[in-house]
Structure 1
Amino acid sequence: MPKVVVAGAGLTGLAAAISAREAGANVVLLEKGSRADVGGNAAFSGGLFLFRYDGPADLTSITQDFEPGMRADRIEAPPYASDAYAAELMAISDGRADPRLVRTLAEQSLDTVRWLAAKGVRFTFNRTVGAHVRNGVLHIPPGQILTSTGEGMSRGFEVIEPLLGYAERIGVEIRWCTALVDVVREDRRVTGVAVDGGVLPGDAVVIATGGFQADRELRRRHLGPDWVNVKLRGTRLATGAVFGRAAGYTAATEAEGRHG
């Protein structure tokens, strides 16, 4: 049975661990924080999802729950196509996003939300983006409409909690308070990871440790001095500690490929 090591128990890491386990792998999920820190930045989000859909049937295939005042006899929802989704993401990034990745995200977004729902994440129709009921019809503008079910602003944790429970039920081994120290390589191939106390072998390693926004020096170096004193809105654990190791491996590999 192949062994997969995933670093980071945020939304990406949990999804990767679950997918690998369902595909038949032995999975170890590393999280440098405690169980109380699970979820990464996603746990601090509002839980609002953007995905493509062709009409009301796609939305009601995910949920038939409505926030108070949103239920209606009929739903009117113009399509929000992959092209519109991709164009919105490219505009948000000022054209700097990778068009191939954007296209893949847009095309797979509906199936991804359905996948989350199948793992126990609950969604509801949300009024925050201009949806309204008039004459018994729920009118939905194209774009974000479903949010994870929960209270308050940090509904993102309501996405994380069911995924964590599902991962534990299907046998993902989760090691809390265990940071990835380094990536282990043999003959230009990743063969595992180093953690405090030893090495974990892996046929595949997934690094899902988030960004570097919680590190003042990295913010200053890469974003500029105005970013040193910003207030964090996400996890304090996203310090970018793993980036150098993964990037170093990529640079070394490319250099060997050019000169070898």
Structure 2
Amino acid sequence: MSTATTVLAARGIVKRYGAVQALAGADLEVRAGEVVALVGDNGAGKSTLVKVISGAIVADEGEITFAGAPVRITRPQDAQALGITTVFQDLALCDNLDVVANLHLGTETRTLSVLSEIAMERSARDLLRSLDVKIKDVRAPVSALSGGQRQSVAIARALLGQPKMVILDEPTAALGVEQTAQVLALIGRLREHGLAVLLISHNLVDVRTVSDRIVVLRLGRNAGAFETAQASQEAIVAAITGAVR
């Protein structure tokens, strides 16, 4: 994994909100074809770091490189233009629209100014098939889907722009065991497609199941970095809580 290309590297990221320092020099690196889990207690700085990378907020200090070149991300469009896409916890799906419409929302295929429903449905089926996402009826409203299927649709939609990096914010939150397994399998397939994946999660079982590396933040600083296969649960928890190992 160490020979893989570094897609994103964030160094010395600082973010202050008045007297509160949300990030105090945080570092993060994500490589092509790997899943990096970002973990930590509430208030550790995970969400702030993700917002900096996704362009929702601007860091006060620090630098970001993407594909080896320095970049400045000041708005979500900057991140999207680089090839960074984020699936937030709320998913932002339209329950009253079907799967095809949700996948193509805002990027509808047009032929002579007429929406090409056939082309969009074919594209939706091809995309879901490539990810091995099983949805029997792509014309069913999203409201009729299971939680795992909804999460899969949101992740699939993020891939339409052919990103290089995908950020997933608590993708298994509130899912049952079977649905969680479906989403974790999908994350594994993103890795197989060569994408850099940043996973934010409080669930260490899920993190250990799907990630290659684990980065721990505590009080806005890096508190540990682990190769998942070699890390013990105790060591990860100790880094999260600040306990002496």
TM-score, shorter chain, exceeding 0.5: no
Q: TM-score, normalised by structure 1?
A: 0.26
Q: TM-score, normalised by structure 2?
A: 0.27
Larger radius of gyration: 1
